[in-house]
Amino acid sequence: MNRVHNFGAGPAQLPIEVLQSAAQEFLDYKGLGLSILELGHRSSEFEEVLASAKERLIRLLNIPEDYDILFLQGGATLLFAGIPLNLLHYKAGYLISGNFSNKAYLEATKYGNAEILANSKDQDFREVPSLDSCPQDLDYVHICQNNTIYGTQYHRLPTTGDVPLIADVSSCFLSAPMDISKYGAIYAGVQKNAGPAGLSITVIKKSLVKKAQDICPTYLDFGLQLKQNSMLNTPNTWAIYLTNKVFEWIENAGGLAQMEMRNREKSQLLYDFLDESQLFSARAKPSSRSIANVVFSTGSEELDAEVIAEAKKENIVGIQGHRLIGGMRASCYNAVPKSSVLALRDLLYQFEKNKR
Ligand SMILES: *Cc1c(COP(=O)(O)O)cnc(C)c1O
């Protein structure tokens, strides 16, 4: 088996143990004589999978009792609409820290009164914007907690007073422990750090779920979906099944505190190298650096392309930066082993040495 060093930003690397376990039961799930792909979502066996995923997530994130969980399709992008359609009744505030938070904001303006409270565009999104004072007449404040494209992250949450904080955590979901009680809701497309594409997870405070806007599609009505346990229609059974296996893998590996330790160590290995380097530099300001997505470049498009080609020869893939900003990006999600990070660091070191 020839597995590459995969730094892709998403869909991203999954734990090999998860893939092996899924492969082993792929043709015959629990002796039923059929694949999990062929199993009805109303069967007791699938209901067990969903219940198990829910229980594990509650344990992993220590989710308080006054919160509930949604497993929906459409990725984080559909939730850019789902959040305002369910929670925006008067006015909402958005912090713009990059491409995804801007998309979330633009989507909200379709369904109501959304305003920008802070923006770090003038800083080229090299840091996350801070919120100096928060208006208290808002339904919610929205942030993107980890900016996958620009490689920045909130290390301290903005203070919003009594206004619920809603966070897109797609690329930092389950990368470290988080205090759910500080949020009105968090949501994530799971394909970055927790599973395959085609599934989003929302953890939301129950008291925020009231009547959705009249134009809200039935599918996106949080209240209805919660009542139906995310099974208003056929859910993405495969993605829920696989994500549950990733939850199990995280638990067996020691939980989120362990994930955080590993992720910090991996990203720090790269940042330390980049800070020493004469050729490469990290894009984000140190105070806003992401522990998941390390974004860097040589400053020259030609040299960056050379690095990416050299890396490919060493089985290091997925380090091309997002098309919006170019350069390189190493996503060091939970399933990326330290050995891959060391291989990448050695490659960058050798590349620089050969250029001198
Ligand atoms: C990838 C990503 C998205 C988009 O997710 P989809 O599931 O493709 O809709 C949104 N926000 C963040 C932070 C992301 O990393």
Residue closest via CA to ligand 1's atom 8 equals 75
Q: Is 68 a pocket residue for ligand 1 (Cβ < 6 Å)?
A: no
Q: Is 10 a pocket residue for ligand 1 (Cβ < 6 Å)?
A: yes
Q: How far is the CA of 67 from the centre of ligand 1 (A)?
A: 23
pLDDT at 2 (0 to 100): 86
CA dist 147 and 88 (Å) reads 23
Q: How far is the CA of 329 from the centre of ligand 1 (A)?
A: 16
On whether the CB atoms of residues 36 and 237 are closer than 8 A, the answer is yes
**What pTM does this model have?**
0.98
Q: How far is the CA of 244 from the centre of ligand 1 (A)?
A: 20
Kindly give the number of the ligand 1 atom that is closest to the alpha carbon of 169: 13
Q: How far is the CA of 134 from the centre of ligand 1 (A)?
A: 26
CA dist 311 and 5 (Å) reads 9
Nearest-Å Rg of the Cα atoms of the chain is 21
Work out the end-to-end distance of the chain between its first and last CA atoms, rounded to an integer number of angstroms: 36
CA dist 60 and 285 (Å) reads 30
pLDDT at 1 (0 to 100): 77
Task: Using most ligand atoms within 8 A of CB, pick from 72, 148, 173, 187 the residue to mutate for ligand 1.
Answer: 148
CA dihedral 157, 158, 161, 164 (to 10 degrees): -70
CB-count exposure of residue 171 (10 Å: 0-12, 13-18, 19+): buried
Residue 96 CA to its chain's centroid (Å): 17
CA dist 187 and 168 (Å) reads 5
Task: Using most ligand atoms within 8 A of CB, pick from 77, 170, 290 the residue to mutate for ligand 1.
Answer: 170
Mean pLDDT by 10 residues, the chain (356 residues): 94 98 98 98 98 98 98 98 98 98 98 98 97 96 98 97 98 98 98 97 98 98 98 98 98 98 98 98 98 97 97 98 96 98 98 93
On whether the CB atoms of residues 349 and 341 are closer than 8 A, the answer is no
